[in-house]
Chains A and B, each alone.
Chain A
Amino acid sequence: QVQLVESGGGVVQPGRSLRLSCAASGFTFSSYGMHWVRQAPGKGLEWVAVISYDGSNKYYADSVKGRFTISRDNSKNTLYLQMNSLRAEDTAVYYCAKDTGIAAAGNPTFFDYWGQGTLVTVSS
């Protein structure tokens, strides 16, 4: 069965960095696009970033562009999110989510599997 397990969350001061990981199993990781989606406490869902199945294309929400970097290691079935220059408004549960396809323009992009989430708290 498909499993996505996030790790790396925690409490970090504003301006510092953090790297999240998402270990995938139960499907052919290298065949699917992958996303990060976050949810601030008590709020709705916000898409953060996407990486195509082969890592050749990466896109970001305007709110994180230039500060966050998404990457993947298909040999390790692992997705990453490097978060730099963190702000209080980045405080959220971060979910990794599997795309229903390769994650490319013209292809339907829905999230069919999600991890359990990892909490990132940015506070001094």
Chain B
Amino acid sequence: DIQMTQSPSSVSASVGDRVTITCRASQGISSWLAWYQQKPGKAPKLLIYAASSLQSGVPSRFSGSGSGTDFTLTISSLQPEDFATYYCQQANSFPQLTFGGGTKVEIK
């Protein structure tokens, strides 16, 4: 199975900060990567798919980049509603789909 490693596992940031989260795949996955946001007690929400495509309705301050094994989720200006846990997911090795361990974005 393809392993997905996220870093950092947690980050403290202030409103207005630029936040970057990385996700590394154990082998190349082309651009078959998605990012999800999950708030406590809620279901995950799709933010980015195919590495850099913004899901409909998601604010443009969220962006994704990368291909192969290294990927990045960037929040350009952190808003209060963005404090949450973020997960990456690889879709290259269907049907064995795997998620990263998560990155918790906390208030500084």
A interface residues (Cβ-Cβ under 8 A, vs B): 35, 44-47, 50, 59, 61, 95, 100, 103-117
Contact = CB atoms under 8 A, between A and B. Distances in A.
Contact of B99 (A47, A100, A105): A47
A44 B97 contact: no
Interface stretch (B18-26, B45-53, B62-70, B73-81): B45-53
A50 B95 contact: yes
A109 B94 contact: yes
B43 A116 contact: yes
Contacts of A116: 42-43
User: What's the dominant secondary structure at chain B's contact region?
Assistant: loop
User: What's the dominant secondary structure at chain A's contact region?
Assistant: loop
Given A95-B43, A112-B55, A116-B43, A44 B99 contact: yes
B72 interface: no
Contact of B102 (A44, A103, A104, A111): A44
Contact of B34 (A35, A110, A114): A110
A105 B94 contact: yes
A47 B44 contact: no
In the complex, the 8 A-B pairs of residues with the closest C-beta atoms, listed nearest first? A59-B95, A114-B43, A47-B97, A45-B99, A110-B49, A110-B34, A109-B91, A44-B102
Nearest to A61: B96
Interface residues of B, number: 24
Interface of B: 32, 34, 36, 38, 42-46, 49-50, 55, 87, 89, 91, 94-102
Contacts of A35: 97
Contacts of B55: 112
Q: Which of A95, A108, A117 has the most CB of B within 10 A?
A: A108
A40 B38 CA distance: 14
Given A44-B87, A115-B43, A108 B101 contact: no
Given A44-B99, A95-B43, A103-B94, 5 more contacts: A103-B95, A104-B94, A110-B50, A111-B34, A113-B46
Contact of A100 (B36, B44, B49): B49
15 contacts: A44-B101, A45-B36, A45-B38, A45-B102, A50-B97, A95-B44, A103-B94, A104-B94, A109-B95, A110-B34, A110-B91, A111-B34, A111-B89, A112-B55, A117-B43
